[in-house]
Amino acid sequence: MDALFGPDDAARWIAVPREGDDKYSRGVVGFVTGSATYPGAAVLGVEAAARTGVGMIRYLGAGRPTRMVLQRRPEAVTVEGRVQAWVLGSGQDPETLDDAARAMLELALGQDVPTVLDGGALDRRADAAGLVLLTPHAGELGRLIGVDVAAIVADPAAAARRAAAEQNATVLLKGHTTHVASPDGELLRVRSAPSWLATAGAGDALAGVVGALLATHAELLAADPAAIAALAATAAVLHGLAAERASAGGPLTILDLAEALPRVIAELLIGA
Ligand SMILES: NC(=O)C1=CN([C@@H]2O[C@H](COP(=O)(O)OP(=O)(O)OC[C@H]3O[C@@H](n4cnc5c(N)ncnc54)[C@H](OP(=O)(O)O)[C@@H]3O)[C@@H](O)[C@H]2O)[C@@H](O)CC1
Ligand SMILES: Nc1ncnc2c1ncn2[C@@H]1O[C@H](COP(=O)(O)OP(=O)(O)O)[C@@H](O)[C@H]1O
């Protein structure tokens, strides 16, 4: 199957809190992202998850990114504990990662919860105990499957499908149009966001959006793991609509995109 996935589809994949909910029943997303080298990636992922809506965010990392995350989002909890989904690797270079973050990464990989592998954790699929979503851009996917980036750009759908089959994981290939491929060959396409979105940090925010969606659908994913593809595509839709709103035809910053997320989600729910 090869299908377009749009706002009407995305509206069905947003978990609306109910009267009986508390922060834990809504779901907790954990981040092991960012580093002394790229602390901003940690801030952007956490910010985007907070604006997508989730019961709680745990951030586990080195001192500098932790301080920056807390400065931007005092709601984040920086102690270990149970989570319903992980976001790993954005803004991390395995070569230079400090020991504390490395230990957190190993701890997270060992847990059987839905896990987003991004940036420096893209090659850790074999070590991940949970259901995995990989979120590469074309260059990263090229390195992962040993294919020239030009071939990926020429046929992103085929590349995403090949990677999903080889890695036995769902793959969200970023780009002008986003392609989400499942290991069984199913493909969802999310129409292009404004090209103003081609700016540093956009992918770090996308990882945060999808992390929040996975954590808030933990029970559903346990019953139906294949739903991870629709949740990944939903993240791309929300990210694209928020980019459109933040851009309004001109340039955008990633914090503007994150700020636009709550209204985008509210409007999708009202229209659903
Ligand atoms: N705020 C933050 O914290 C942010 C943190 N981020 C984090 O950074 C990490 C790495 O992510 P990434 O996408 O840069 O990785 P990657 O595919 O290895 O790219 C390297 C390739 O780019 C190329 N290149 C570089 N400069 C170029 C130029 N001027 N013009 C043209 N080409 C140029 C370079 O080519 P070369 O110079 O070698 O020819 C090389 O091939 C990742 O963890 C991510 O999360 C980012 O999300 C950004 C915001
Ligand atoms: N030309 C483009 N048009 C629309 N969206 C784009 C374009 N280029 C990149 N994007 C989107 O921007 C984001 C870039 O992610 P990524 O390359 O990982 O950035 P970073 O590593 O800087 O955070 C992805 O969501 C991708 O789909």
Could you give all domains of the chain from N- to C-terminal order, each with its CATH number?
Answer: 2-271 (3.40.1190.20)
Chain segment 103-121, per-residue pLDDT in tens: 999 999 999 999 999 999 9
Which residues have CB under 8 Å from 31's CB, separation 6+? 42, 45, 46, 49, 57, 58, 59, 60, 61, 86, 87, 88, 208, 211
Both tokens of residue 202?
């956009």
Atom of ligand 1 nearest to the CA of 139: 17
Helix (H, G, I), strand (E, B), or coil: what is residue 133? strand
Residue 139 confidence (pLDDT) above 80: yes
Question: Of the bound ligands, which one is closest to the alpha carbon of residue 69?
Answer: 1
Atom of ligand 1 nearest to the CA of 41: 3
Residue 230 confidence (pLDDT) above 90: yes
CB of 139 closer than 6 A to ligand 2? Answer: no
Model ipTM value: 0.91
Both tokens of residue 14?
């947003």
Distance CA 2, CA 245 (A): 28
Q: What is the arithmetic mean of pLDDT over 194-207? A: 97
Residue 272 banded pLDDT, cuts 50, 70, 90: confident
Alpha carbon of 7 to ligand 1 centroid (Å): 30
Distance CA 211, CA 186 (A): 21
Question: Which stretch of DSSP H or E encloses residue 34?
Answer: none
What are the start-end ranges of the E strands in 15-143? 28-32, 56-59, 85-88, 115-117, 132-134
Residue type at position 113: V
Q: What is the arithmetic mean of pLDDT over 163-177? A: 97
Q: What is the arithmetic mean of pLDDT over 234-263? A: 98
Atom of ligand 2 nearest to the CA of 254: 23
Residue 271 banded pLDDT, cuts 50, 70, 90: confident
Residue 192 confidence (pLDDT) above 90: no
Do the annotations mark residue 217 as ligand-binding? no
Q: What is the arithmetic mean of pLDDT over 232-251? A: 98
pLDDT the model gives residue 1: 82
Do the annotations mark residue 170 as ligand-binding? no
Do the annotations mark residue 203 as ligand-binding? yes
CB of 193 closer than 6 A to ligand 2? Answer: yes
CB of 202 closer than 6 A to ligand 2? Answer: yes
CB of 96 closer than 6 A to ligand 2? Answer: no
Alpha carbon of 109 to ligand 1 centroid (Å): 24
Residue 154 banded pLDDT, cuts 50, 70, 90: very high
Q: What is the arithmetic mean of pLDDT over 145-171? A: 97
Residue 212 banded pLDDT, cuts 50, 70, 90: very high
Both tokens of residue 265?
């989600």
Nearest to 14 by CA among 256, 233, 243, 259: 233
Chain segment 66-114, per-residue pLDDT in tens: 999 999 999 999 999 999 999 999 999 999 999 999 999 999 999 999 9
CB of 91 closer than 6 A to ligand 1? Answer: yes
Nearest to 209 by CA among 250, 272, 265: 265
Question: Of the bound ligands, which one is closest to the alpha carbon of residue 65?
Answer: 1
Alpha carbon of 205 to ligand 1 centroid (Å): 15
Residue tagged 């290939």 (tokens): 173
Question: Of the bound ligands, which one is closest to the alpha carbon of residue 120?
Answer: 1
